[in-house]
Amino acid sequence: MEKLITLEEYIIHAQNKFPGATGDLSQLLRDISLAAKIISREVNKAGITNILGLEGSENVHGESVKKLDLFANEQWINALSRSNITCMVISEENEGIVRLSDKSGKYIVYVDPLDGSSNIDINASIGSIFSIYMRKDVSKPLSESVALQPGTEQVAAGYVLYGSSTVMAYTTGLGVQLFTLDPSIGEFILHEKKVRIPKEGNIYSTDEGSYLFWDEALKKYVKYCQELDPSTNRPYKARYIGCMAADLHRTLLQGGIFMYPDSSRYPNGKLRLMYECNPLAFIIEQAGGKATDGKKRIMEIEPTEIHECTPVYIGSEENMKKLESFFEG
């Protein structure tokens, strides 16, 4: 029988490869896994504990917030406060930066504590997404500008998917590792090392109900996906879970393309650069895929606001190339 490797063991093993490593990033990943386990437990009993339903307030973007969003946000902030290595957290659920008690902490963490929250009430997949940066200059006071770094500066990123089982994918720039939570022992178990996204896939994923709001080039590309041509595996299948972490998890494993474009309804797209698109772009690139805003690499965008939106196109190399050929006209 193959030996089970826990996230804990894997982290130690990975850290030992770097002789000078302080262990701080390893500790941070452990803290994150704790938040993930607590949220996973709560998600599983959400129906029974009456946590479902609208919380009544709105988040900083004017979207209605569900109780579980707030619970998840609290868990992330508590977990990141444990080890004094994170100086600030930027969360979808907080308008400004959240300064943690140890102002000398060297990491900055962005988080979407609960992604796909409209899926909560229907028992469909939800997730958490995180992105970690170094605080470059410890002498500078903690502010938004200190946190605004392009995605290429991420030291680690990942997501947790609370699906039919709970999985966690993360990268520190050395490929993507995938773990599955065994709730009976409370451990994330290594599922796959150095995950690779298929070079090409036959799934496209987007909210096609917004078709009329799209640019011509995108309309044409989606029509291309629907055309009959068995030699190129078309028509593609359409899949859209409405939870970017879940849609990206499928894309990572099965290939294809996920798109949340700019449109006449959302001129800058709807998804957030810093805690949705950058971390998932890092994961997909590390697995051999691509992520752009339609023109440039997502991770090279210079951010100007912590909550800014960007259009995003992300997936298998060949599907991305084909999309780009439509955009180039």
Q: How far is the CB of 43 from Mn ion (least distance, A)?
A: 13
The two beta strands, 126-134 and 312-315, are: unpaired
Sequence-separated (6 or more) residues with CB below 8 Å from residue 200: 233, 255, 316, 317, 318, 319
Q: Give the residue from 100, 77, 74, 75 showing the smallest Cα distance to 87.
A: 100
Residue closest to ligand AHG (Cβ): 244
**Between 37 and 307, CB nearer to Mn ion:** 307
Smallest distance, ligand AHG to C-beta of residue 143, A = 24
Residue 171 C-beta: closest distance to ligand AHG, Å: 19
d(CA 259, CA 140): 37
Partner whose footprint covers residue 150, from Mn ion, ligand AHG, none (CB < 5 to 8 Å by kind) = none
User: Measured from the CB atom, is 187 or 262 closer to ligand AHG?
Assistant: 262
Question: What is the rounded CA–CA span in Å between residue 10 and residue 170?
Answer: 12
In this structure, the dihedral spanned by the alpha carbons of residues 11, 27, 33 and 127, taken in order and rounded to 10 degrees, is -100
CB of 93 to Mn ion, least distance (A): 7
Closer residue to ligand AHG in complex, CB, 244/257:
244
Residues contributing to the site for Mn ion (CB under 5 A): 92, 112, 114-115
| Nearer residue to Mn ion within complex by CB, 67 or 135 | 67
**18-23 — which CB contacts under 8 Å span 24+ positions?**
none
Picked from ligand AHG, Mn ion, none, the partner binding residue 298 (CB below 5 to 8 A depending on kind) is none
Measured from the CB atom, the residue of 85 and 248 that comes closer to ligand AHG is 248
User: From CA 153, how far away is CA 303, in angstroms rounded?
Assistant: 12
Q: Which residues bind ligand AHG (CB under 6 A)?
A: 92, 112, 115-117, 207, 242-244, 260, 270-271
